[in-house]
Structure 1
Amino acid sequence: MQLNARLHTQLRVSAARRHAAHFSRARSVHASRAPFCPPLKTSSYDEAPAVEERVLVKLENDVEPAGNLNADAQATNLQEAERQRQAFIMNDTCRFLATDLKMLFEKGEITEARYSPDITFEDPITKYTNREGYIFNIRLLRTFFNIQFDLFNVAVSGPDTVTATWSMEMLFWLVPWKPTLTFTGRTVYRVDPQSGLILSHTDYWDALQRNGFLSLEGLQHVLRQFLQLQVTPGIETPKYTVLKRFKDYEIRAYEPYTVAETSMGSGAGPASGAGFSDLARYLFGGNTAQLAMEMTTPVFQNIEPSSNSSTAMQFVMEKRYADLAALPAPSDPRIARKREEARYAAAIRFAGWPLDFEVVSNERQLRDMLIRDGYKPAVGYQLARYNDPSTPPGIRRNEVLIRLDGFVWPESEATSPAKLP
């Protein structure tokens, strides 16, 4: 009986060595460290070879004292060694995905050896049942869209699952209005913990209540974005990342930017243009350096909620003026230079000339949706106008933005609105 136990253990050692060699080869191709996946409790990813050796040493040590252990103790040791081996495989697969996903839309390729030939792919409007279809879908998207893919987090989420959260902006360049389709959500990968092969890829979109294929809600979400005709001028704008895209609004992370600001007269409505001429004079030479600077977008207005009155108008400055000392001083003392810090904000978009009642209506709608979804909208809001006066109303881009208090990213499962079935 002891001989059989020793033989069984040696076979496990041999299998573990094969897996160690396999993952060492994989790391030689994907060597960059990804910050997303938590390491094994015993080691970081950079120390992964040591993890393999410890797993192997444990298995080999189980062989030596076989004569001193009963069958139950040997079985317990083998189970623990197998648990560690599978934990290592899942953690390695997680880190591999953190690297492979970043290359996915840059090169239109995947590391095929890590994906099962029978991998299933499913999102609300697409489904494939083999690796060829999976690769075809990636290449098809790259052909027709300019894609910006942001990977926020990748983590082992179960004994055989890895979950990634992401944002993707897809500019469809084949039509004159060049619509940008934005999707955020999570991908759940099912993994064989014995081999590390990825068996399935299922996408869940934040914008949908029903994510299963084929989703009518998903088709409507795509079509609505495709037919969105508002134009965003091709000039400099504050940089932000869309973190969550819902059906009617989105949550953004804004990077810091510089503004020139002027106060607006009392009684100025939420869509008032008072202050625009003063800021334009400053921008086009009304400063101590007599320097004409470039126009950017959008024009912001800060709005006080109790009276829905505009309190200040802001022009965004070019990013080369991140240092306020480099920004020319205004000749008009009513103009102030300010640095807006990084922030989280929710945004809702609408077209047309932004009339006072439309601004107020969109603010109320956005605030109600945020409260409904468990977020904490701050007091006050902003109107953002992106287009010059010559742009036709039907294709003008306007937004109402509300800062979010207490928002943390990435969201925890306890605070994030549930979207998975």
Structure 2
Amino acid sequence: MSRSAVLGTRQLLHHLTSSNFGDQRRQRHRISASSPVAPRASPSLSSATPGFCPWKTCAGCGAKVGRRIRMGQRGSRQVAGNAARVHVEGAQESVSQNLMSEMIEFLKVDLPNLFNEKGIDKSKYDEKVAFIDPITKYDNLSGYLLNIQMLRFLFSPIFELRNIKQTGPSEITTRWCMRLYFRLVPWVPEVVFTGRSIMTVNPATGRFNRHVDIWDSIQDNDYFSMEGLRDFLKQVSNLAQTPRGKQIPFDILKRTAHYEIRRYPSFRVLEASSSRSIEDTSSLVELRKRVESRSDQGAPLLPLLSWVRGAEATAAVPSIPVEAVFAPESISDASVGAVSVREVGASCVAAVRFSGTPSEALVAKLERELRQALRKDGLEAEEGYAVARYSFPGSLGFLTRNEVLVWLHDYQLD
């Protein structure tokens, strides 16, 4: 076969296997004579071996075309490989990546509608979509949507999307926090889950066909997880109450079996100069009353805070979070001493909840266990801590909500 015949065959195969053949079959692809020669290395053939044809570049579309032509034992040349494989595969990868980028942008807009009246856009999900979390499982879109409606009926749910990224060729992972307020019981307990959703895109349809949730608070995330059920029931049966009133706002970034990690904005506190033991709440109560008496400045925020500064410190400094800018001298009193204003910077905090009266022994035990859990998870905490009281001192112990708070160094959500 002549060299011109081989080149003609090469061009024909390139057109027949190209993904845009229908649009380009009337266009003339030219093999650029000026394209650099890039022969493939071969243990048996050198670049000077007769019958070895290099790869060249198509002037029409820029794809590399050509193939290795080897001389057979009887002198016949045999075609090996596909002239346009590189071109076709490159086009497929580009389309797939565009689809994944579109699906990520779609989820950023759609997921915040999970529990509102608008709801999610079901056109982006296959009819045979599989939904699995530790205690729930469905294998079709109807069941998936039913689960969302059931949560809306039983709870007042709040969904917060933390981040979203592509984690595989057809896989997207979201990180989120979900707060559920169970309204079918009088005490309306708060149920909190944080975790990741691994969502898979069906390449044949361009829609989601699998959604798997993983909770941060349990180890066994396979359906049906008894550990997951116990975690849910433990939160639902918690009788501790959070009184009505404005709180210091925070985002729950992660809830594990042992603690929550929260992100607080900066906030302002009024602090008494006198330090007391954690169990002595007289200064805390008096300070709050004096802030409340200044009705022109607005009500104090929850929780009441007792700060213990330093690893060896035992006395606590009472402080009241406030929104307004107070003149400290207007709050100072003989019972609380001089009052100062302090700005607490934005930060990430580890918190452990408990009910009952915050005794020194109980608080010390909880702080020690919290620090041990943080070290086990590779997190570094600052010295000192704060005891947060959401209920006014003197409330029934089992109904009170209290927390031990520890500030973290440079926390980054995974």
TM range (shorter): 0.7 to 0.9
Is the Cα–Cα contact under 8 Å of residues 63 and 84 in structure 2 kept in the other structure?
Answer: no
Give the SS at the match of 2:379. Answer: coil
Match of 2:392 in 1: 388
Structure 2 residue 105 is the aligned partner of structure 1 residue 95 = yes
Unmatched tracts of structure 2, length 5 or more: 1-8, 24-56, 68-81
Superposed displacement of residue 279, structure 1 = 1.5
1:170 equivalent in structure 2: 180
> What is the alpha-carbon distance in structure 2 between the residues aligned to residue 276 and residue 364 of structure 1?
24
Residue among 362, 378, 383 paired with 1:379: 383
CA gap of 1:12–1:367, structure 2 versus 1, over 3 A, is farther
Q: Greater helix percent: which structure?
A: 1
1:303 aligns with 2:308: yes
Larger radius of gyration: 2
Q: In the alignment, what sits opposite 1:344?
A: 348
Shift of 1:187: 0.3
Q: Which runs of 4+ in 1 moved over 6 A?
A: none
Residue in structure 2 matching 1:357, options 356, 361, 367: 361
2:65 maps to what in 1?
Answer: 69
1:187 aligns with 2:192: no
- Aligned-residue RMSD, C-alpha: 2.4
Q: Tell me if the contact between 1:179 and 1:229 (Cα under 8 Å) persists in the aligned partners.
A: yes
Structure 2 CA distance for aligned equivalents of residues 197 and 89 of structure 1: 10
Match of 1:41 in 2: none
- 1:272 is the counterpart of 2:268: no
Q: Distance in 1 between matches of 2:212 and 2:239?
A: 30
| Letter in structure 2 aligned against 1:178 | V
2:320 counterpart of 1:315: yes
- Following superposition, the deviation at residue 282 of structure 1 comes to 3.3
Instruction: Letter of the 2:274 partner, please give it.
Output: M
Judged with a 3 Å threshold, the aligned counterparts in structure 2 of structure 1 residues 7 and 107 are, in CA distance, closer, same or farther, namely farther
Instruction: Give the deviation of 1:8 after TM superposition.
Output: 4.3
Which amino acid is the alignment partner of residue 119 of structure 2?
Answer: E
Q: Which amino acid aligns with 1:362?
A: L
Contact in 2 for aligned 1:108/1:138 (Cα 8 Å): no
User: Secondary structure of the equivalent of 1:270?
Assistant: coil
How many percent identity over aligned positions? 30
Distance 1:13 1:216 in 2: 57
Instruction: Report matched runs for 1:7-406 at 5 Å.
Output: 7-10=16-19, 64=60, 69-70=65-66, 72-107=82-117, 109-265=119-275, 268-285=276-293, 291=296, 293-318=298-323, 321=324, 324=325, 327-331=326-330, 332=332, 334-406=338-410
Amino acid at match of 2:393: P
Give 1:134 deviation, angstroms.
0.5
Q: Distance in 2 between matches of 1:108 and 1:134?
A: 16
Which has the larger displacement, 138-147 or 274-283? 274-283
Quick one: structure 1 residues 165 and 311, their matched pair in 2 at CA, closer, same or farther if it must change by over 3 Å? same
- Which has the larger displacement, 241-250 or 214-223? 241-250
Provide the rounded CA distance (Å) in 2 between the counterparts of 1:376 and 1:262: 29
Deviations along 1:266-307, one digit per CA (max 9) or x if unpaired, are xx3233214225513531447xxx846424311101113544
- Between the aligned partners of 1:154 and 1:187, the Cα distance in structure 2 is 9
Separation (CA, whole Å) in 1 of partners of 2:229 and 2:371: 26
CA separation of 1:259 and 1:6: change in aligned 2, threshold 3 A = same
Measure, in 2, the Cα distance between the counterparts of 1:206 and 1:275: 39
Secondary structure in structure 2 of the residue aligned to 1:354: coil
Letter in structure 1 aligned against 2:398: G
Q: 1:355 to 1:74 in 2, by over 3 A?
A: same
1:257–1:340 Cα contact (<8 Å) kept = yes
- TM-aligned CA deviation for residue 344 of structure 1: 0.5
SS in 2 for 1:348: strand
How far has the Cα of 1:195 moved from its partner?
3.6
Higher RCO (Cα < 8 Å, 6 or more apart)? 1
Aligned-residue offset at 1:99: 1.4
1:6 aligns with 2:15: yes
Contact 2:390-2:401 at 8 Å conserved across structures: yes
Q: Which amino acid aligns with 1:213?
A: Y
SS of structure 1 residue aligned to 2:398: helix
Q: Which residue does the alignment assign to 2:3?
A: none
CA contact (8 A) 1:10 1:63 kept: no
Q: Secondary structure at the match of 2:196?
A: strand
Give the 3 Å change call, closer, same or farther, for CA 359–88 of structure 1 in structure 2: same
For the residue of structure 2 that corresponds to 1:310, the secondary structure is coil
CA distance in 1 between counterparts of 2:306 and 2:349 reads 15
Partner SS state of residue 329, structure 2: coil
Q: Deviations over 1:309-360 (max 9, x none)?
A: 2341111113xx2xx3xx3443327111222221100001111111111111
Residues of 2 paired with 1:373 and 1:366: CA distance? 11
Greater mean deviation of Cα atoms: 339-348 or 299-308: 299-308
Distance 1:352 1:12, change over 3 A: farther
The answer to whether the 8 A contact 2:353-2:404 is kept is: yes
Quick one: which amino acid aligns to residue 121 of structure 2?
A: T
Residues 243 and 62 from structure 1, CA distance in 2 versus in 1: closer, same or farther, beyond 3 angstroms? farther
